[in-house]
């Protein structure tokens, strides 16, 4: 068992990951400044309320066997609206954390995003696809990747970058259901009104991965780092390999809704103006090849989008 530090411990992924690490017997050092949109915390897992780059947070973190760095100002629009403030956390804060971990030779795993690849020259995207960010959030994540990767070396410690695709799924915590806003949850919410709104052009493809599979990747990455050489610098694709366009996802939702609720009127699917037009990646052929991640971590994804949506659609007779 290991002593594992987790930054962003009360966020959506951190809140789900912490109980799993504890159940595996690990001793945990949990840090979060509690400014994120979700606060998933309980008395069972005490969290230090501090910025992860502050001295009070770094002191216990550098005594860990590995640090899982999930803390961030997250989201495309949040970084676009406050580039300087978000960069102080995502870039300068990560630099300070990694510098402290280097002195103590503590491995770090970094939460990144497929947003960093921008408009890749080749598809499918692999673990070696270079970062070519096209907007502020992606630039900050790419900078974080470089900072963490530079930790690896004879005078440093092993590092891992986890590029996450579009996460879906919920979990229960202290008697409540925890969900994060994403296109799948949005479509299921919109279905109550009988109309699904697809951001134009609708043909943009995304890779979708279930939260349970994401958590399994983080657990496996922690295990990888605990046994890695100081010179190891890995990039893992936290993706399912299941890509589809947003429009196809809407049509699938409508199909499964009709299957579960045959008495309802068919859901209408409309393509609407995209508030992120010119910011987010618009590529109908986007796909991820995760073969190297499967080889190095020894795991495959267990969940698929169709089965998950089918389980989430309320049957006729239940309140939508």
Across the strands, what pairs with 176? 173
> Could you give the dihedral angle defined by the CA atoms of residues 10, 240, 159 and 170, in that order, rounded to the nearest 10 degrees?
10
Q: How many helices (H) and strands (E) does the chain have?
A: 11, 14
Judge contact between 287 and 241, C-beta under 8 A.
Answer: yes
Sign of CA dihedral 80, 81, 83, 85: negative
Name which of 143, 147, 124, 56 is nearest 283 in CA terms: 124
pTM of the model: 0.94
CATH code for residues 169-207+242-286+303-312: 3.90.25.10
Judge contact between 98 and 152, C-beta under 8 A.
Answer: no
Question: According to the model, what pLDDT value does residue 207 have?
Answer: 96
Q: Where in the chain is the domain with CATH 3.40.50.720?
A: 3-167+208-238
Question: According to the model, what pLDDT value does residue 315 have?
Answer: 84
Name which of 220, 196, 200, 91 is nearest 148 in CA terms: 91
- Going by pLDDT thresholds of 50, 70 and 90, the confidence category of residue 279 is low
- Other beta carbons within 10 angstroms of residue 300's beta carbon come to 12
Q: Where in the chain is the domain with CATH 3.90.25.10?
A: 169-207+242-286+303-312
Give the pLDDT confidence of 138-176 residue by residue, as tens digits.
999 999 999 999 999 999 999 999 999 999 999 988 888
Give the pLDDT confidence of 236-258 residue by residue, as tens digits.
999 999 999 999 999 999 999 99
pLDDT averaged over every residue in the chain = 94
CATH code for residues 3-167+208-238: 3.40.50.720
């Amino acid at each position: 068992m290991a002593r594992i530090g987790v930054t962003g411990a009360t966020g959506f992924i951190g809140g789900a990951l912490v109980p799993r690490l504890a159940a595996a017997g690990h001793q945990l050092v949990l840090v979060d400044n509690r400014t994120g949109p979700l606060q998933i915390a309980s008395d069972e897992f005490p969290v230090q309320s501090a910025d992860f780059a502050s001295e009070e947070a770094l002191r216990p973190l550098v005594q860990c066997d590995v640090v899982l760095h999930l803390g961030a100002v997250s989201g495309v629009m949040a970084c676009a609206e406050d580039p300087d403030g978000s960069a102080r956390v995502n870039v300068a804060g990560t630099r300070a954390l990694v510098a402290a971990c280097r002195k103590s030779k503590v491995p770090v795993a970094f939460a990144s995003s497929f947003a960093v690849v921008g408009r890749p020259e080749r598809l499918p995207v692999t673990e070696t696809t270079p970062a070519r960010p096209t907007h502020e959030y992606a630039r900050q994540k790419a900078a974080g990747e470089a900072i963490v990767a530079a930790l690896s070396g004879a005078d440093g410690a092993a590092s891992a970058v986890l590029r996450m695709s579009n996460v879906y799924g919920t979990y229960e915590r202290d008697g409540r259901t925890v969900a994060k806003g994403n296109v799948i949850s949005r479509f299921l919410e919109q279905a109550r009104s009988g109309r699904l709104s697809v951001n134009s052009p609708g043909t943009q493809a995304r890779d979708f991965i279930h939260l349970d599979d994401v958590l399994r990747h983080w657990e496996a990455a922690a295990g990888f780092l605990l046994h890695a050489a100081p010179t190891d610098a890995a990039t893992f694709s936290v993706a399912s390999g299941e890509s589809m366009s947003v429009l196809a996802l809407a049509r699938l939702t409508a199909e499964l809704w009709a299957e579960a609720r045959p008495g309802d009127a068919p859901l209408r699917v409309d393509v609407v103006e995209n508030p992120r037009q010119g910011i987010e990646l618009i590529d109908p052929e986007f796909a991820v090849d995760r073969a190297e991640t499967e080889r190095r971590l020894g795991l495959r994804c267990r969940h698929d989008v169709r089965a998950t949506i089918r389980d989430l659609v309320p049957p006729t007779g239940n309140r939508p």
